[in-house]
Amino acid sequence: MSVSGSRLGAMLAILAAAVLLGGCASRVQNRAPVEDRVSAPGRLEPVVAEPVVPLVKQLPGFENAGKPGYYTVKPGDMLIRIAVDHGQSPKDVARWSNIDNPNRIEIGQVLRVAPPVSTSSTAGVVTRPVTAGTVTPVTAAPLPPAAGSADKPVAAASAAITAASAPVAASSSIASDDEIKWIWPTQGAVLAGFDEAKNKGLDIGGSAGDPVLAAADGRVVYVGAGLRGYGNLIILKHNNMYLTAYAHNQTLLIKEDQSVRQGQKIAEMGSSDADRVKLHFEVRRQGKPVDPAKYLPPR
């Protein structure tokens, strides 16, 4: 090989090496960068958010659920029905449960259906009206004199005993428990008797406009047509034990919170929310329907 050929070969070898090195460098430069995710100081790592748990709405009175004297509202409930089923006035249940609108109660809401217990020293003591002349005066034994006043009577204690033993006039129309003498609320014939499952009272016939009478002394706790199936309805509370209900009237003659006397005309018979003219009459003992025929005098 000539010198020119030798030089040409060397140049070609150098050129080939240069091309080879250039390709390697190009491959190294085009390689994707590697990111260090292990322990870069000051690096903010992505935070996975915890699932958001929706807040559960706590309905009024939830803390009293299941306690005696409380009731949890169920689908289809109405305040008036809850009150009557527990032997209470709808207004009282609304007041005890801090309800401003009796027509708006919520499923799951807890209502107080028993009177609040007094925290005073007389809590648990039930007072009943006493008719004048039925109390026998009791002579109190003398109290021992206080130290230093042996010759002076205890005037305050004596006066209190005298006042307590004096006859008390009946100032309330609410009778004592189980001491009611009932009368028939109207004079018609009985159309349907008591059936705990189908008819929670007596259906008594008559003509439109016939008088409906209070079966006993009491206080009006409801007047209106808010209870489905009863039409124009009156509910009387007679004591802590008994309520009476008078349904399907055409005319209501009394108002809520009014005191009524036994035999007083409170309504006129009608056919509101009924298939004929009649009076539906119920007696409820502690809210539970009982057979009125067992309480009314025989005819």
Locate 248 and state its tokens.
């399907």
Question: What radius of gyration do the chain's Cα atoms show?
Answer: 44
C-alpha distances in Å from residue 47, one per residue of 38, 44, 50, 139: 16, 9, 9, 86
Do 203 and 246 contact (CB within 8 A), yes or no? Answer: no
Do 139 and 98 contact (CB within 8 A), yes or no? Answer: no
Do 186 and 205 contact (CB within 8 A), yes or no? Answer: no
Pairing outcome for strands 259-260 and 278-285: unpaired
- The model carries a pTM of 0.62
Please provide residue 21's backbone torsions phi and psi, each rounded to the nearest 5 degrees.
-65, -35
Euclidean distance between CA atoms 32 and 78, whole angstroms: 73
Please give the sequence-ordered ranges of beta strands (E in DSSP) within 30-128, or none if there are none.
Answer: 70-72, 110-112
Ordered per-residue pLDDT tens for the chain, 299 residues: 554 556 666 666 666 665 555 555 455 455 555 455 545 555 666 666 677 665 666 777 888 888 999 999 999 999 999 999 999 989 999 999 999 888 889 999 999 999 987 644 333 334 344 333 333 343 334 444 444 444 443 343 333 333 333 333 333 445 556 679 999 999 999 999 999 899 999 999 999 999 999 999 999 999 999 999 999 999 999 999 999 999 999 999 999 999 999 999 999 999 999 999 999 999 999 999 999 999 999 98
Question: For 183, how many CA atoms within 13 A lie in the half-sphere containing its CB?
Answer: 14
